[in-house]
Structure 1
């Protein structure tokens, strides 16, 4: 036998002994803490009913109450698993009622309106009423009532804590679930974050830690509490603007990089951000929306507006990485634009295609004489159209490329008149840049590559040239209708895509569901 084998063999009994001791210690401690349940509750409540309470008796009733209450819970499986794993120990009743923690927690729920949320969603009144019963030594009349009140308070507190903390840390709504064209990475609460809430030992400290501290959020919150009215809007409409944009600020979808490009659709503006400050901004033209005349207001909306019905040309919300630019780009015309616009124009003017520098392809082969085709009768999906580089190219002299499933990009445009308008939701979905060369300078920096771009953009007989960025640049296309500017003045923008209406409708639906559950 080897020395190592001898050591292992001799160590085995010691290991087994230590394991048994540890197991017995854990079990005995657990048994001791659970066996003291009745005595401990009597000591805390001064109510003799609790003297006969046992962990086993509580567990039996707890299971039944939990089964009956599942329809009222946002996360029934997680809450059930939490209490099953703890042998139905009433952690909130035992550790957080008589030191005032649960009352403090309920008072946070009562102030949920400071975050644009309805306190009724978090059941503060019901929690306080149950707490009061435990503090009144004559309120609970028998053991069965005691068990049921313990279970109800535990479940109610656990559910409300999870809902409240998730709302403040992640937002009430998942934007991916309500918006058809939302492609921004957004973290949502999971079992880890929820269990962290239930295991918090100091509830006040925990609740303080999850209060949003973003300066933008605090400015909107201050305005909400002040109850003011924005110019040209009713008080109710002003509050709704604040509420939906506070919800957006709670979403975990914000840029984490020190430098990035961000486009805000309702503001028709692009910024290049560096260490929290804008080092370049410009006007942009974005995709056309369903609410460009602002007919769908936040005061008057219908149930149907809770469904996102994006116009086919709306610019999507997304995040990606700008990886390259194409100078003097070829425009691969989307089939929808080709069939609805290009072919219609070609049917009216046989020389439209040649005048616009548009080549036609059939089965991948270039058509020599497209003007001989009767475009009024041509199949809409038989041909492909590409516009050659030129001063008239719809993409202008440069486009910025980033991976996305919507085939959108940032690009130059020969149609400069759009930048003079206040309402600039005019494009087919891509983002037209007011100063594309300035953006190229910002993402590439000064030097040989930037000089090459400038030279290529000025050529009379250009050829398409793709140039990769030495370091990819994050890009975010967002939708924000209310924010505090650098002077801490609140800015409001029309809800050009109707997305505020959709979001507010879903927030109201949460409240309606909470009220319905409370009546069960």
Structure 2
């Protein structure tokens, strides 16, 4: 009896052959799944031109049309790469034509106005025209024309589905590209996200699923479609306010945390949000804006308004983490304020600096007698200024710090009068708090050692600056929202104090004919 042993080399060879055979069969089965392409199209349209349609005949025509249409595609590289990798298979056409699912696409596109978007952006008319041609035996008689119409329709579907998906789930505008002072982390669609449209099995279900469903969005959407007119605004301006704020709600820049600090610049309000509800709210003062007197509106503007030209004192949009509080802070006066205000006041009154408890430094050294300086010839590059802790300190008794490129923070203020005013865009850029002690209590916890220390130090007439770590750190979002539904469902609208609605609308109008 002879024993036979298979060598590892033979086993490896057999394995490779098996894999190759499997891949070949898989590839052939994929190709075979489209072998009835022509039969499927003919059965649906009753147009004999489709009887001769084959995947091999379609592929080179599709490749040619794709190359010709590249410049008209918003995401040409992604679309081209997908079809190259998939043998130019018209997956959207063939998987959705027979069951009339493509008609669902144009139905949704035609209702894009409900989102404040122009349906033309998604080309529903062009898609419908091509669909009708498939059934027109007089217009569509040549095989090459059939191939080209199929290719055109496939590309229209791919391009429009990606555009519509991006628009509803990320917005049509990237805020980082239009705003000069926008530092909020904002996700944008990537190639993996965009390729998902090729895997959709049911267009209607998919398009339903990507409709934004947050109550705020639905409320603004309802107001837009109902023709709501806000008090003090025309219907046209109200519609445009709703459109830009619907766009803001589509941006993926919303807090993911359960608890965070939210400052809305146009509302002049701060809230600490905890699991969707405000546990603390107060008035704030924000940076002075270019449009505080509402000289520009969403109706009266020109193309130059799409360029964001922020006033030097405007508070930026940002997100960060509050990590520290400084009680009885020193105010390191910025050079811009020193030159335009401090030196000017010192020139008028030689005792202004000492009365305001401001120390003067030259080349980093404290100046003993600033009253002797001739401020008429002085500059902010030569001198620096620091206001010491005390009742007159512009930062009040406490400031709350978080890393950011703009050197802004939340702080107390001795100037309480602006909190009684409706228009509170009056600061140099930082956010002044109406109730800083309440804010500290919320951050540190009532009765905690840190809060007790804060309360004690803030109650003293004079004290050295004391840094207290905020732990755990709490996220802070400084945002810009001019329209929202309140708790009772009423639409609230605030003046566009920085003119950022105008900038956004101008860019949206540039993309589509609103």
TM-score (ref. length: structure 2): 0.96
How many angstroms apart in 1 are the aligned matches of 2:133 and 2:430?
A: 61
What does the per-residue CA deviation read over 1:245-292, in whole Å, with 9 as the maximum and x for residues that have no partner?
111111111111111110110010101111111111101000000000
In structure 2, the partner of 1:259 is 259
What is the CA distance between 1:10 and its match in structure 2? Answer: 6.2
In structure 1, the partner of 2:241 is 241
In structure 1, the partner of 2:456 is 455
Q: Secondary structure at the match of 2:467?
A: strand
What is the CA distance between 1:133 and its match in structure 2? Answer: 1.6
Q: Secondary structure at the match of 2:71?
A: helix
What is the CA distance between 1:45 and its match in structure 2? Answer: 2.9
How many angstroms apart in 2 are the aligned matches of 1:502 and 1:156?
A: 30
For structure 2, which runs of at least 5 residues remain unmatched after alignment? Answer: 1-5
In structure 2, the partner of 1:434 is 434
How many angstroms apart in 1 are the aligned matches of 2:242 and 2:40?
A: 47
- Judge conservation of contact 1:161–1:198 (CA < 8 Å) in 2: no
Output aligned runs, 1:254-333, within 5 Å: 254-333=254-333
- Judge conservation of contact 1:45–1:137 (CA < 8 Å) in 2: no
How many angstroms apart in 2 are the aligned matches of 1:8 and 1:462?
A: 83
In structure 1, the partner of 2:337 is 337
| Residues 1:488 and 2:489 are matched in the alignment | yes
In structure 2, the partner of 1:195 is 195
| Residues 1:347 and 2:354 are matched in the alignment | no
For structure 1, which runs of at least 5 residues remain unmatched after alignment? Answer: 1-5, 515-520
Q: Secondary structure at the match of 1:295?
A: coil
- Judge conservation of contact 1:217–1:249 (CA < 8 Å) in 2: yes
Q: Which moved more, 1:63-72 or 1:454-463?
A: 63-72
How many angstroms apart in 2 are the aligned matches of 1:41 and 1:110?
A: 25
C-alpha RMSD over aligned residues: 1.6
- Judge conservation of contact 1:284–1:433 (CA < 8 Å) in 2: yes
- Judge conservation of contact 2:486–2:492 (CA < 8 Å) in 1: yes
What does the per-residue CA deviation read over 1:62-121, in whole Å, with 9 as the maximum and x for residues that have no partner?
222222222221111111111111111111221111211111011000000010111111
What is the CA distance between 1:12 and its match in structure 2? Answer: 1.8
In structure 2, the partner of 1:399 is 399
How many angstroms apart in 1 are the aligned matches of 2:471 and 2:354?
A: 37
What does the per-residue CA deviation read over 1:425-459, in whole Å, with 9 as the maximum and x for residues that have no partner?
00000000000000000111112110100000011
What is the CA distance between 1:296 and its match in structure 2? Answer: 0.6
How many angstroms apart in 1 are the aligned matches of 2:347 and 2:382?
A: 15
How many angstroms apart in 2 are the aligned matches of 1:7 and 1:475?
A: 67
How many angstroms apart in 2 are the aligned matches of 1:399 and 1:163?
A: 44
In structure 2, the partner of 1:506 is 507
In structure 1, the partner of 2:3 is none
How many angstroms apart in 1 are the aligned matches of 2:461 and 2:27?
A: 85
What does the per-residue CA deviation read over 1:281-317, in whole Å, with 9 as the maximum and x for residues that have no partner?
1010000000001111111111111111110000000
How many angstroms apart in 1 are the aligned matches of 2:343 and 2:256?
A: 44
- Judge conservation of contact 1:180–1:308 (CA < 8 Å) in 2: yes
In structure 2, the partner of 1:413 is 413
What does the per-residue CA deviation read over 1:387-421, in whole Å, with 9 as the maximum and x for residues that have no partner?
11111000000000000000000000001111011
What does the per-residue CA deviation read over 1:483-509, in whole Å, with 9 as the maximum and x for residues that have no partner?
100111110100000001111111110
What is the CA distance between 1:138 and its match in structure 2? Answer: 4.4
Q: 1:448 to 1:153 in 2, by over 3 A?
A: same
- Judge conservation of contact 2:92–2:198 (CA < 8 Å) in 1: no
What does the per-residue CA deviation read over 1:134-188, in whole Å, with 9 as the maximum and x for residues that have no partner?
2344441101111110111011111111111110000111111111011111111
Q: Which moved more, 1:189-198 or 1:263-272?
A: 189-198
- Judge conservation of contact 1:162–1:198 (CA < 8 Å) in 2: no
How many angstroms apart in 2 are the aligned matches of 1:57 and 1:363?
A: 80
How many angstroms apart in 2 are the aligned matches of 1:492 and 1:31?
A: 57
Q: Which moved more, 1:253-262 or 1:137-146?
A: 137-146
What is the CA distance between 1:41 and its match in structure 2? Answer: 3.0
How many angstroms apart in 2 are the aligned matches of 1:267 and 1:41?
A: 57
In structure 2, the partner of 1:477 is 478
Q: How many residues align?
A: 508
In structure 1, the partner of 2:30 is 30
